[in-house]
Amino acid sequence: MPELVLHQFESSPFCDKVRRLLHYKQKPYRTHEVPPTETLVRLRRLNPTGKVPVLEHREVVISDSTEIARYLEDTFPEPPIFPTDPKARALCHILEDWADESLYFYEAWFRFGLSENAGEFSRRSSQSEPPLLRRATERALPTLMRNVLRLQGIGRKPPERVLTDFDRHLEALERWLGDGDWLVCEHLTVADVAVYAQLSCAAETAEAQGVVADHPTALAWMERVNGATSPPV
Could you read off the pLDDT of 140-164 as tens digits, one per residue? 989 999 999 999 999 999 999 999 9
Terminal-residue alpha carbon distance, the chain: 20
The pTM (predicted TM-score) of the whole model is 0.94
Distances (CA, A) of 58 to 6, 55, 74, 88: 12, 10, 15, 32
No. of helices (H) and no. of strands (E), the chain: 10, 4
pLDDT tens string 159-186: 999 999 999 999 999 999 999 999 999 9
- Asked whether the predicted pLDDT for residue 102 surpasses 80, the reply is yes
According to CATH, the topology of domain 4-75 is Glutaredoxin (3.40.30)
What is the predicted pLDDT for the residue at 41?
66
The residue-averaged pLDDT of 201-210 equals: 98
Q: Hey, what amino acid is at 140?
A: A
Nearest partner of 15 among 1, 40, 43, judged by Cα: 43
pLDDT tens string 26-49: 999 999 998 877 765 677 788 788
Nearest partner of 95 among 190, 221, 211, judged by Cα: 190
What is the predicted pLDDT for the residue at 187?
98
Task: In whole angstroms, give the CA distance from residue 42 to residue 178.
Answer: 46
Task: In whole angstroms, give the CA distance from residue 88 to residue 50.
Answer: 32
Task: In whole angstroms, give the CA distance from residue 14 to residue 212.
Answer: 20
Task: Please list the residue range(s) of the chain that carry CATH number 3.40.30.10.
Answer: 4-75
Task: In whole angstroms, give the CA distance from residue 68 to residue 52.
Answer: 11
What is the predicted pLDDT for the residue at 40?
59
pLDDT tens string 1-25: 689 999 999 999 999 999 999 999 9
What is the predicted pLDDT for the residue at 136?
87
Task: In whole angstroms, give the CA distance from residue 43 to residue 226.
Answer: 29
- The architecture of the domain spanning 86-228 is Up-down Bundle (1.20)
Task: In whole angstroms, give the CA distance from residue 52 to residue 32.
Answer: 11
